[in-house]
Structure 1
C-alpha cells in the first residue's frame, strides 16, 4: 500500500541502480557503469557551489556515453536557506545549458528528511524511458561483477560454481543455456573463451527461469569459482555460444574529442592525440589502456594492454593522463 495515503498500489516498473561514485579518482568506475545505464539521476548538493569539477566531468561523461534521459536532483535543501536554494537552482540551470541535461527536471529534495522523494520517483517513471530492446536477437550481456560465493573452508563436495552479474542488453537467457564469456583468461600465452551451462538465474532478488534485457541480473554457472572471484570477469561479455564479437588486441576508431578537458579547476583545451600516447579506454564495462600506434586526422589506431570483446560501431570513452589523474577527453567509434 501507498505509504502516504494508504491506497492500493500497482507494480508498474522495477528499477535497478548503478551507483556511480562522484570522486574524481573513481571516474573509470563511473564510465564502466554508464555502459549499462538507460538514464541517470545527477545529484547536486545545494550547499555547494555548482558546478564542482567532478560534476562537470560526470555530466560530460553522460554526453559522451550517449545517456540522454537525465533528472537533476538538488539535494540537501533542508540545510540551506530559501535564498541559497534559489541561487543553487539558478547555478544548476546555467550549468546544464548545452548538455544532455539542458531540459532535465530539477527536483529539490532532502534525502535525509525524505522530502520530495515521491516526486523524484514519479519523475523517474515518466522521464526515464527504457529503450526498445530486441528479445529475439542473440543474447548479449555486459558483465559488471563476478563472484566466488563459497565460504572459506568449504568441502570439495559443497563447492558451487562461479557467479557473474551485469545487464543483458539484448536477447534472453534460460536455465540450461550454454553461454560463452570473452575475453577469457590466458592459457599458455593464448586467450581462451570460457563456456558453461547456466544453472541459476536471479533478477530483482528472486530466482527465475528466464531473464530478458534490462535490469541487473545474476547468473550462476559451473565455472571454477577461482575464475570469477573478486570481480575477475568484470568487463567481459557473455552471450550465446558462437555469437559473441571478436576479441580485439588492437583496433581503429574515429575519435571525437571535446573542446576542453573537464574535471579540473583550470580547464584547458584538448590537444590532438599523439602517437605513443597512452589513453584510458572504456568499452562496455571494460577499462583498458590503449597505446596510440597511428593517427591521421580523426582516425586513430591503438594497441590494447588488455583485450576487449567489441564490434564495429561500438562507442568507447577516451581519457588522457592530465597531471596525476585520468581526464575524459572524448569518445571513439570502433571501425
Structure 2
C-alpha cells in the first residue's frame, strides 16, 4: 500500500513539473512575440550584437576589450605565458550614456553584471546612466598560424574593430589578411582603431603620417570611409570615443520566429577533476544563435554529432547527438531563454567528455528535424584573390600571385565556425566541387573561405558560396 502511494506521489510530482514547464514555455512564447534586440528585458540580461577585434599580433586587441569590458580574454596558461591570444577570446560589456554629460564623456562601459541604471561616474554628475547596448566581443588571435581560428570568429561577427598599432608601419601582414577575411563575410560596419598613440605622442608627424597610410590602405575596401580613432588602450585614453561609435552601430535585424539554429565556437567540460558523480554537470557549448530562440528544457539536436572513421576502410560516419538544454547563461546572468546575437553558454544533458577541449566547435545546435543537412561534398561558386595576403614575399608579384586551383589538391575550408580539409574534385572558371575529409552541417547559400598551405602555413586564397550539398561522395573526379 505504501509503495502504491509513493508511486502515485512521484507520478503527481512529475505531472506538476511538466505542467509548470508547459505553462512557463507558453508565457515565454507569448513574451517573445513582443521582443526586439533592444528591448530592455533583453539587453538587461543578454548581449544582442557581436563585435570582433581583428588585426596583427600584439596590436592591442585583447587590451582594448579589457579596457571596455573589464574582462581579460587571455585566460589559458599558454596564452598568459606567451602573452598572446591563441583561442577565440570572449567578453560581454554593457554600454551606457549619461543624459547630462557632454560627449564623449557621456559614454561609459562596464561588465555584463552591472545594473541597468547606475549612477554616472563623472565627478559632480548625479544622473543615472541609460543602458544603450549590450555587446559581446569576439577577440581573434592575430598570429599568422592562427588564421583558421580568426575565420571561425569572423563567422559570428556583426561588426569589427580593426586595430592598428601606431608605432608600426601600416599595413602589417595580418592587418591585410584579417581585413580581407571580414570583407568576405560582408561586414558592414568597421571601426578602425589607431592604438598605442601614447608611444608616438612626442612625434605628431609620425601619427599624422600613419593616419594617412591607414586611409590609403583601406581605400577601395569595405573599411573605406570608416572612422579612425586614435587611442591608448593601455591607458584607456579615448576609449570613450570607441564606445560612442560602437553605440552608433545599428543592431542587425534578428529572426525570433524561425526554428533555432546556434553555431558553436567553444565547448567545455566545467567539472573539476575528481568531481563526485552526484554533482557531475553535463557539457557546455558556447556560441551565438543565428536565428530563433532557445529555451531551458528544449529538446535539441547537435549536428553532425559524433564523427567516427573506420581504421580499415577509412570510411567516415556520423551520428547526431540528441540532448536537452539544462541551463542558459550570458556571462554570470542566468537566462530562461536566449535570443539571436551575443555569445551564450548552453548547458546540455550530455557526457562532458563530448564537449571537452572544444570538441563541438563547428557543430550546429537546433531543434530535431529542423536543422541544415549534413554534407560531405559541395558545389560552390568561388572567387580567388589576386595575390596572397599576410606573407613576407607579398611585395614579389610572381611569388605572391594566387595560383589556380588544382584537381586533387587539399585546401582548408572554413564554413561557419568549422575548419576542415577539402579535396578539389573538379572545377571550372567559377564553379568548384569539393569533397570534405569530415562531414559538416551547412546550408545552401552559406559562405566559405578557402586557404592553401604555403610555406608550412595555410593562407587565405579565396572565398565562395555553397550552391549545392551532397550527403554522399561522388565517384567521378576531373576538371570540368
- TM-score between both structures, scaled by the size of structure 2: 0.68
Q: Distance in 2 between matches of 1:327 and 1:290?
A: 15
1:216-295 mapped onto 2 (5 Å cutoff): 216-267=343-394, 268-295=400-427
Q: CA deviation at 1:2?
A: 2.9
1:161-200 mapped onto 2 (5 Å cutoff): 161-186=282-307, 190-200=317-327
Match of 1:94 among 193, 216, 220: 216
Q: Distance in 1 between matches of 2:453 and 2:431?
A: 20
Aligned equivalent of 1:44: 164
Describe the superposition over 1:95-138 as per-residue Cα deviations: whole angstroms up to 9, x where unpaired: 00011100110000011211111111000111x32210110011
Q: Which segment drifts farther, 137-146 or 188-197?
A: 188-197
Aligned equivalent of 1:153: 274
Match of 2:230 among 108, 111, 130: 108
Aligned equivalent of 2:147: 27
Q: Does 1:329 align with 2:461?
A: yes
Q: Which segment drifts farther, 51-60 or 151-160?
A: 151-160
SS in 2 for 1:199: strand
Q: CA deviation at 1:306?
A: 2.1
Higher alpha-carbon Rg: 2
SS in 1 for 2:194: strand
Aligned equivalent of 1:13: 133
Aligned equivalent of 2:194: 74
8 A Cα contact 1:96 1:102, kept in partner? yes
Q: Which segment drifts farther, 234-243 or 181-190?
A: 181-190
Q: CA deviation at 1:204?
A: 4.1
Q: CA deviation at 1:323?
A: 1.5
Aligned equivalent of 1:129: 250
Aligned equivalent of 1:209: 336
SS in 2 for 1:192: strand
Q: Distance in 2 between matches of 1:161 and 1:222?
A: 5
8 A Cα contact 1:253 1:332, kept in partner? yes
Q: Does 1:307 align with 2:401?
A: no
SS in 2 for 1:184: strand
8 A Cα contact 1:180 1:238, kept in partner? yes
8 A Cα contact 2:260 2:291, kept in partner? yes
Number of matched pairs = 334
SS in 2 for 1:168: strand
Q: CA deviation at 1:172?
A: 0.1
Describe the superposition over 1:152-175 as per-residue Cα deviations: whole angstroms up to 9, x where unpaired: 111222211111010001000011
If asked which structure has higher relative contact order (CA below 8 Å, sep 6+), I would say 1
Q: Distance in 1 between matches of 2:307 and 2:232?
A: 49
8 A Cα contact 1:133 1:170, kept in partner? yes
RMSD between aligned alpha carbons?
A: 1.2
Q: Does 1:85 align with 2:207?
A: yes
SS in 2 for 1:11: strand
SS in 2 for 1:331: strand
Q: Distance in 1 between matches of 2:219 and 2:296?
A: 47
Gaps of 5+ in 2: 1-118, 311-315, 395-399, 468-480
Q: Distance in 1 between matches of 2:277 and 2:150?
A: 38
Q: Distance in 2 between matches of 1:310 and 1:2?
A: 46
- TM-score between both structures, scaled by the size of structure 1: 0.97
8 A Cα contact 1:62 1:68, kept in partner? no
SS in 2 for 1:57: helix
Q: Distance in 2 between matches of 1:54 and 1:162?
A: 34
Q: Which segment drifts farther, 24-33 or 153-162?
A: 153-162
Aligned equivalent of 1:297: 429
SS in 1 for 2:465: strand
Q: CA deviation at 1:22?
A: 1.0
